[in-house]
Structure formats: C-alpha cells, structure tokens
C-alpha cells in the first residue's frame, strides 16, 4: 500500500548541521607532509581532510595547488617547496615538472625501492594478515634507458592549426611537447627526437590518432590513423622509418599490420635461447632486463623438475611458459584470448619447444571442469593482470600443486589473493618487488607459496 505524501511543508536538514564547504580547485595551501602514500604522493592532514600531494616527500613543508577535492580527500600538486627533505634530489629529466610519466624522479632510486617494498609489505599485512617467511632482495635494473615501448600522444589543434606531439601532462589531457625521454631505450630516444618534425610535415596530420614506439629484435613505429593517409604522407613516414632503421606499422580500423609484409618483430630471452614473436597491441613487459631477471627468479623459486607437470596461467605470448618448458616434463599454458593462445603456440613451434601445450579459458571463472586441469600439477605459475586471479585461486588447492609462484602488477590484488591461498593451506614462503618501472610508483611483485 502506497504511503500518502505529507503536506506539512517541513524541510529536513542533513544530520550534522551545515555541510563543510568544499576546497576549490586551484587553491594554494601550505602543508606539512607526514609520510608517503603507496603511489608516491605525500600525505598531509589539515582541517579534518587528508591531502595527497604529488611531488612532495615526507618531512617537507610545501605550498600545494588543489587539483581535485571530494569529501574529506584533496588531491594536489607541489607548487612551491618551503622546506626540503634531505632525501630529495634534483629530477634528472627537464620535463619532470609537467610530464605525467615519471612521478618519482625527485626520490633517489634506493628510496624508490624502499617505498615499493613498504607498499607491498603493508598490503600483505593489512589485507591478508601475513608476511613472508623471507623477503627477497628487489629485482632491479638501470634507472633510465630501460623502456622498450612507449605511446606518443598526437592531437591536431584546430584553433592553432598545428599538431601537438608528446606525452600527457599529470592529471590532465594536455600534451607536453617532448622530443627526448630518458627512460626510453637508446634506439627509441633517437626515433622520438626526430618524430615530431616528420609528423608535423604531413599534409594531413588530422588523420593521426597516436604513435607507438617499440624496440626488440627490431625497432618499429606504429602509426594509428583515424582516416586514410595520403600517399605522400605514407611516403614521408616510410622514408623516416628507413632512415631510423625501423619498421613502419599502420593501424586503421583493422589490426596493426607492417607496411612490409615480411617484417618480423619480437624479443629475445637469451638465457634460454628463445626468440618470441609479438605484434603491436600484444602485451609485453616494457623492461627487458628486469623481465629476464624476473623469469630467472620465477624458475629458481618454482624449481620445476625434469619429471614434473607445470601450469602457467595468464601465459600471454609464452614469456614464462617457454623457459619453463626447458626445465619441466610438460607445461600447460592457459590464456583468456584465443589470438594470444595461437601466438604463444606459434612461438613454441618456432623455437622447437614441443612439451608445452596452450589452451584458451576464461580465467575470470573457476578452473573446475577443464580437461587440462584434471591430472593435477606439481607447480603453478600465475601472472595475472591488475585485477588479480581471485576466481582462479579459489579452488587451486584441488590441482595438488606443492609450489605456486604468483607474479603481480598490483600489490592490493596480490594481498587479496594471498589471503585465499593461505586459507587453503599454503604458506607465504618468500616475496619481493620487481622494479619494472623505475622513476614511477608502480609496484610489481613476486610471491612464492608452498603447500603445508
């Protein structure tokens, strides 16, 4: 039965009286920074609000400019340094103040590693209530010159009638004009230096979407376009790539494709005499040196034996599966996207790896009922995306694996899934960070779980 509307005319006030006025965007505020958040921003407390200040360090007094405010949380950016931390260093990159890519350059590398280690430990303790029996030393490579893949933003400014080329600004869609980037591998730095000039020389720059750069067994430039490229523009891009000794790839509405159909692109895993083919759009770890060290550590922790059957979940192109196959009797590798399964299988064939089998499965669902899981496994390796592997780990004990290595790009979902694994009788034997993205707060980690 519907209730009759009241005609009393009474107006009810929210509990607690008047609402606290919101902090306006652009406001400057003096703050004392108490500690660092897991994402590298400084944390301050003022008037019942928590302030997150990018570019600030613990112990500093700063003037910050408000970027965004909601409820009791204010996001801000360092505007002026009033009292510096003794840890602070001069950012090596001249674009640091505006580019949104590397947000920790003001922090020495060792301190960056310590922050990432602390972030992982706090997540494991807070979410799962566990700490590893042993902490592994951070896996790390060069601070700069490590990134073998980059996306360059491109936008036609209608009013100014000019092409903007560079990287996105922090907390903005603005494009910062950049023709040098210290975190790129050297061959890509050279390409980026000359890229804006050739793009601005095109007769129809409005047709450009964005540009991606790749470095592996060859260098490649992928041009995404929203309209057909005129023949003269295509010729300019080809000439540029030939001079740079790089492949030219194009992508319109279809999949990326090389202009030269014979072009081959891949990356090497030298310790295992492997070369994996990949295409623009495929997932690949951007840090080649740390990727190799990560695989070596995963194989060392998992310790596959010559008579064992090993499961690799979220296998991608076979980055872990093919090195595992060099050690184990059999590797079963599973991925959610059929195209990636096909490419991984082709990589196995092309490297004469015959003891790895590849399957497609929806890994957001439990593994029960899959034929390849029926025989069980001695060991399992998982390398899930940021969402983690919550559904997969729910019944993973049924696979009877004694050892499980979990490679994570998100400590929060690793901690959540660790709680599930511990609940099934696994012990968190070892854990450590992987410094895949120096100069950023992005944390990758590896954890070893053992049954019993």
Domain total of the chain: 3
Q: Are the CB atoms for 77 and 145 separated by under 8 Å?
A: no
Residues 331 and 421 in one domain: yes
Residues 138 and 168 in one domain: no
Does 285 belong to an annotated binding site?
yes
Name the token pair of 335: 């991925």
User: Quick check: is 415 in a domain?
Assistant: yes
Does 241 belong to an annotated binding site?
no
User: Quick check: is 55 in a domain?
Assistant: yes
What CATH number corresponds to the domain at position 385? 3.40.50.150
User: Quick check: is 421 in a domain?
Assistant: yes
User: Quick check: is 270 in a domain?
Assistant: no
How do the pLDDT tens digits run along the chain, 452 residues long? 434 444 444 444 444 445 667 899 999 999 999 999 999 999 999 999 999 999 999 999 999 999 999 999 999 999 999 999 999 999 999 898 888 789 999 999 999 999 999 999 999 999 999 999 999 999 999 999 999 999 999 999 998 899 999 998 876 788 989 888 999 999 999 999 999 999 999 999 999 999 999 999 999 999 999 999 999 999 999 999 999 999 999 999 999 999 999 999 999 999 999 999 999 989 999 999 999 999 999 999 999 999 999 999 999 999 999 999 999 999 999 999 999 999 999 999 999 999 999 999 999 888 877 788 888 899 999 999 999 999 999 989 999 999 999 999 999 999 999 999 999 999 999 999 999 999 999 999 999 999 98
Catalytically active residues, by annotation: 409
User: Quick check: is 277 in a domain?
Assistant: no
User: Quick check: is 1 in a domain?
Assistant: no
Residues 447 and 336 in one domain: yes
What CATH number corresponds to the domain at position 205? 2.40.50.1070
Name the token pair of 105: 């350059």
Rounded to an integer, what distance in angstroms lies between the CA atom of residue 38 and that of residue 59? 16
Does 212 belong to an annotated binding site?
no
Q: Domain range holding 250?
A: 149-258
What CATH number corresponds to the domain at position 58? 2.40.50.140
Residues 300 and 357 in one domain: yes
Q: What is the pLDDT of residues 215-252, one digit of tens each?
A: 999 999 999 999 999 999 999 999 999 999 999 999 99
Q: Are the CB atoms for 83 and 68 separated by under 8 Å?
A: no
User: Quick check: is 263 in a domain?
Assistant: no
Residues 241 and 301 in one domain: no
Name the token pair of 379: 């060991």
User: Quick check: is 97 in a domain?
Assistant: no
Does 314 belong to an annotated binding site?
yes
Taking each helix axis from N to C end, the angle separating 186-200 and 231-243, rounded to the nearest 10 degrees, works out to 150
Q: What share of the chain is helix, strand, coil (3-state, %, to 5)?
A: 25, 30, 45
Does 335 belong to an annotated binding site?
yes
Rounded to an integer, what distance in angstroms lies between the CA atom of residue 183 and that of residue 102? 9
Residues 243 and 371 in one domain: no
Q: Are the CB atoms for 408 and 388 separated by under 8 Å?
A: yes
């Amino acid at each position: 039965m519907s209730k009759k509307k009241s005609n009393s005319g009474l107006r009810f006030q929210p509990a607690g009286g008047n609402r606290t006025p919101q902090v306006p965007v652009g406001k400057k505020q003096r703050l004392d920074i108490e500690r660092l958040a897991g994402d590298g921003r400084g944390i301050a407390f003022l008037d019942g609000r928590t302030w997150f200040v990018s570019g600030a360090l613990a112990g500093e007094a700063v003037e910050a400019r408000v970027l965004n405010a909601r409820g009791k949380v204010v996001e801000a950016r360092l505007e002026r340094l009033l009292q510096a931390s003794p840890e602070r260093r001069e950012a090596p990159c001249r674009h640091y103040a505006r580019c949104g890519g590397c947000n920790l350059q003001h922090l020495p590398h060792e301190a960056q590693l310590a922050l990432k280690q602390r972030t992982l430990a706090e997540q494991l303790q807070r979410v799962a209530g566990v700490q590893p029996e042993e902490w592994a030393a951070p896996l790390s490579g060069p601070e700069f010159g490590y990134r073998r893949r980059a996306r360059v933003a491109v936008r036609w400014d209608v009013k100014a009638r000019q092409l903007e080329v560079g990287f996105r600004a922090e907390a903005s869609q603005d494009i910062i004009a950049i023709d040098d980037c210290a975190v790129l591998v050297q061959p890509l730095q050279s390409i980026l230096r000359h890229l804006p000039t050739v793009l601005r020389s095109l007769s129809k720059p409005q047709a450009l979407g964005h540009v991606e750069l790749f470095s592996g067994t060859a260098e490649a430039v992928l041009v995404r376009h929203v309209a057909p490229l005129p023949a003269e523009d295509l010729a300019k891009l080809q000439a540029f790539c030939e001079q740079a000794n790089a492949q030219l790839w194009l992508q319109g509405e279809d999949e990326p494709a090389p202009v030269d159909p014979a072009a081959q692109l891949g990356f090497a895993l030298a310790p295992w005499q492997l070369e994996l083919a990949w295409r623009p759009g495929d997932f690949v770890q951007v840090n080649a040196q740390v990727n190799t060290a990560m695989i070596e550590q995963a194989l060392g922790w998992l310790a596959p034996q010559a008579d064992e059957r090993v499961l690799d979940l979220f296998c991608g192109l076979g980055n872990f599966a093919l090195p595992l196959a060099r050690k184990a009797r059999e590797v079963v590798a599973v991925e959610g996207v059929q195209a990636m399964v096909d490419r991984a299988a082709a990589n196995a064939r092309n490297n004469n790896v015959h003891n790895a089998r590849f399957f497609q499965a929806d890994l957001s669902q439990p593994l029960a009922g899959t034929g390849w899981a029926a025989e069980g496994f001695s060991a399992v390796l998982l390398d899930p995306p940021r969402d983690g592997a919550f559904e997969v780990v729910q019944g993973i004990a049924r696979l009877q694996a004694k050892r499980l290595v979990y490679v994570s790009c998100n400590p929060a979902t690793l901690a959540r899934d660790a709680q599930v694994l511990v609940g099934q009788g696994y012990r968190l034997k070892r854990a450590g960070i992987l410094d895949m993205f120096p100069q950023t707060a992005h944390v990758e980690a590896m954890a070893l779980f053992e049954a019993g």
